[in-house]
Structure 1
Amino acid sequence: MTTGVHRVRRVHSVRRPRRRDGYERPWMDPRDLWSESLAGVLARPVRSALTTLGTVLGIGTLVITIGVASTAANQIVGRFDALTATSVTVTVPAPPPGSTDPTLVEWSGAGAVERLAGVESAAALSDSEGSANVQVRANDVVTPGALTEQTLAVVAATPGLPEAVRGTMATGRFFDGGDIARHDRVAVLGDQAARLLGIDDVRDAPAVFFKGQSYTVIGVLGGFRRETRLSASVILPPTTAADRMGLKDVTRVLVNTSLGAARQVARQAPIALAPGHEEALTVTAPPDLSKARKGVEGDVNGLFLVLGLVSLVVGAIGIANVTLVTVMERTGEIGLRRALGASRRQVAGQFLAESTTIGLLGGVVGAALGVVVVVCVAAVKHWTPVLDLGLALGAPVAGALVGLLAGLYPSLRAARMEPVDALRAPS
């Protein structure tokens, strides 16, 4: 018994609808159309590669633009003036003159705020118009012709002020609960006030004089990141300021929060400070970071999206031009196909498929290139890359659509060729 191997050629089954006149209408299987289009693209690899380059640049620019914009926006918001994003200020209205109502906010209110979730530090302040311009001297000796006085502000604050203004003690120390309880006549100078008064060391217990009283300087506070105007101030303990300067009422509460907790703390702080009277307080909170993120991302996208669209238009023009040239070069092939029974629709479909294939390849390569560039930029900048998966997956579809639109005119021109004229044309 003999056995043989038979090679069977697979023929795609096609349906050939009949026209009204009884003749069969020629029909090309979609798989054959795809293979013919791919063969047409690969027949001129260099030209196809150069044509695809325009779409690669366009899609790549779009992916890079939106990816880098999203990554940069995320990084900007992550570093978005962390000081502003975590600073909350509660302003306490001054009581009416001659009012006997109890104080709206007690000095102990800063401690109540510090117990709120998300609060890192808090301090209460008191100042007034009468203490904003005080003549302060560094000694009690008046020298004729010498400038011995400086106009400075005098304020009262709780011991948490250095943390609340995010400052550091340049020298000495800040007053504590003991100084407050004893009503000690001690003072802390802002670094600018200390320079104006010529005080740079507190080891010898220098004194400042104003309003007929002397105060021992125990420290110099510098490095203000909040309330920088306090750098030109004399800071007193609350009890001392109440006794000698009349600064009895809290006017502001400075609160520092962890990142992302400012909005919540802004709602809760007035309740902790003045239960039942929270509506009388004014709260200054940072803007919503999500809005800032969208704003930054929108601005960056708006600046560079035009560049990507221009590149896409250039790529589409390149595809249309090369497809049109290809149609003119393949006039004889088009005539032969028409003579063998190919319909206008089939001829147009083949060239549309070729231009769409070029656009699709450009979209795939451009999307991959764009993703790689975004990741590399993020790695160099030590950022966290933010990639839109929908954009990366939709870029090839966009490239195919660009190729489809670019090939409309050349394909229609190829379809309008008559078989006899196409065969007579020089190849």
Structure 2
Amino acid sequence: MDVRDLVGEAFAGMLARPVRSALTTLGTVLGITTLVITLGVAATAGNQIVGRFDELVATAITVEVPESEHTPLVAWDAIDRLTRLRGVVSAAAVAESKDSVNLSVRSNDLVDPTRVTAQTLTVLAATPGLPEAARGRMTRGRFFDTGHIERADRVAVLGEQAAKMLGVTRLDRAPAIFIGRNAYTVIGIMGDLRRERDLSAAVIVPPSVGRQFGLRDVTRVLVNTSLGAADLVAGQAPTALSPGNGDALQVIAPPSPTRARDQAQDDVDALFLILGLVSLVVGAVGIANVTLVTVMERVAEIGLRRSLGAARRHIAAQFLLESTLTGLAGGVIGASVGVVGIVAISAAKEWTPLLDVWLAVAAPVAGAVVGLLAGLYPALRAARMEPVDALR
């Protein structure tokens, strides 16, 4: 039996029972489709996870400034040098001292013994870039600028929580708060803080006004960088803020989550690969079962072929080729359906579909291998049949 006769007999055997062949192929189609979709979705989902981790890469840096008995280590105008560094998105200097913590702040100058009119809040001094550096926004009014600082205007910005505690909800009438005996006009309310959330319960004043509360020196600097620039800026920030005294500053930068990101992607890939292999095994069992049933139904044909001179290898090759072709057809159809499924899922989730070319090429080959392995036992059983027993 040459190769052409073998292929012809295999196709004839498949087409002799088209419905059964189609159902057998469907098992492989489902297995290969599930494998391709799971691996493709795993790669696509892993890419989305990597993107989420990249968004969380350390971009927030805090520089702690220790106290100095002589000249301040960081001047208020040092922020201008820092913002000129490549990769710095926003930065602000903040001053806080023991004397400015737990100060009595009230929203009016009326002394009412029947109710509490004063709140214990923290007073801070900061540069105008604080809302951006704290990753917040001005929910009401505006933040003070360099003009307020140069004129030493008695203005203040309240954190969102501090404003609620003091009952300040409107700024159109220029409300004032009282810290000690002095009144300060509230020009803005800052909220939606994603960093330094303790500022929500604080009163922020210009540095020129903060000297009244002992806020003369910068105690920390908040820096936001672009993606990937955190390590570089962390190394350059101390020198930019305090040339010659950079070693005295402490830079705090969150570690990069690269290892966690890679581990998460590996776990997702492994999970989906296991699910795909399980589906493929189910398809292989289906092919083996149907092929075995086919062998049992074609016992008379096998006996006739053996009587006419067919060798054992010819019978085994015929059934192996039939199961292999069934698996190959299921692999081609399953790979096509799987690619379409990946694109559809990605479109529904608004993801960027990611599929390796080797997977689409290897899926039909995998289907053929599954069909070959699934038909191995039925083919060997058919080849072992004796002609007399088969015909009887």
**TM above 0.5:** yes
**What SS does structure 2 have at the residue aligned with 1:66?**
helix
1:314 aligns with 2:286: no
Equivalent residue for 2:347? 379
- Corresponding residue to 1:71 among 44, 50, 75: 44
Equivalent residue for 2:136? 167
Q: Give 1:315 deviation, angstroms.
A: 0.8
Equivalent residue for 1:3? none
CA RMSD of aligned residues (A): 2.5
Equivalent residue for 2:384? 416
Equivalent residue for 2:197? 228
The answer to whether the 8 Å contact 1:87/1:286 transfers is no
Please give the alpha-carbon distance, in whole angstroms, between the structure 2 residues aligned to 1:153 and 1:81. Answer: 35
Please give the alpha-carbon distance, in whole angstroms, between the structure 2 residues aligned to 1:81 and 1:225. Answer: 17
1:200 aligns with 2:200: no
Q: Give 1:108 deviation, angstroms.
A: 2.8
The answer to whether the 8 Å contact 1:55/1:311 transfers is no
Please give the alpha-carbon distance, in whole angstroms, between the structure 2 residues aligned to 1:181 and 1:287. Answer: 40
Distance 1:109 1:374, change over 3 A: farther
1:331 aligns with 2:304: no
Q: Give 1:81 deviation, angstroms.
A: 8.4
- How do residues 8-407 of structure 1 correspond to structure 2 at under 5 angstroms? 28-79=1-52, 82=55, 84-85=56-57, 87-95=59-67, 99-100=68-69, 102-241=71-210, 243-275=211-243, 278=246, 280-285=249-254, 287-288=256-257, 291=259, 293-407=261-375
Measured against aligned partners, the alpha-carbon deviations of 1:138-164 in whole angstroms (never above 9, x if no partner) come to 122221021111122222211011222
**What SS does structure 2 have at the residue aligned with 1:189?**
strand
The answer to whether the 8 Å contact 1:263/1:285 transfers is no
Please give the alpha-carbon distance, in whole angstroms, between the structure 1 residues aligned to 2:100 and 2:301. Answer: 96
Please give the alpha-carbon distance, in whole angstroms, between the structure 2 residues aligned to 1:423 and 1:334. Answer: 8
Q: Which amino acid aligns with 1:196?
A: M
Measured against aligned partners, the alpha-carbon deviations of 1:75-128 in whole angstroms (never above 9, x if no partner) come to 34445584x446312231423xxx435433333333233222333222122224
Please give the alpha-carbon distance, in whole angstroms, between the structure 2 residues aligned to 1:326 and 1:218. Answer: 86
Specify which structure has the higher proportion of helix.
2
Q: Give 1:225 deviation, angstroms.
A: 2.6
Q: Which amino acid aligns with 1:92?
A: E
After TM superposition, the score normalised by the length of structure 2 is 0.90
Unaligned runs of 5+ in 1: 1-27
Please give the alpha-carbon distance, in whole angstroms, between the structure 2 residues aligned to 1:231 and 1:324. Answer: 73
Q: Give 1:238 deviation, angstroms.
A: 2.0
Q: Give 1:286 deviation, angstroms.
A: 6.0
The answer to whether the 8 Å contact 2:122/2:202 transfers is yes
Question: Percent of aligned positions with the same letter in both sequences?
Answer: 62
Q: Which amino acid aligns with 2:348?
A: V
The answer to whether the 8 Å contact 1:54/1:311 transfers is no
The answer to whether the 8 Å contact 2:53/2:261 transfers is no
Distance 1:209 1:257, change over 3 A: same
Please give the alpha-carbon distance, in whole angstroms, between the structure 2 residues aligned to 1:101 and 1:353. Answer: 90
Q: Which amino acid aligns with 1:36?
A: E
Q: Give 1:217 deviation, angstroms.
A: 1.7
Aligned residues: 391
Unaligned runs of 5+ in 2: none
Q: Give 1:392 deviation, angstroms.
A: 1.6
After TM superposition, the score normalised by the length of structure 1 is 0.83
Measured against aligned partners, the alpha-carbon deviations of 1:31-85 in whole angstroms (never above 9, x if no partner) come to 4333322322222221111112222112211211122232233334445584x44
The answer to whether the 8 Å contact 2:193/2:200 transfers is yes
The answer to whether the 8 Å contact 1:89/1:255 transfers is yes
Please give the alpha-carbon distance, in whole angstroms, between the structure 2 residues aligned to 1:348 and 1:87. Answer: 65
Distance 1:405 1:252, change over 3 A: farther
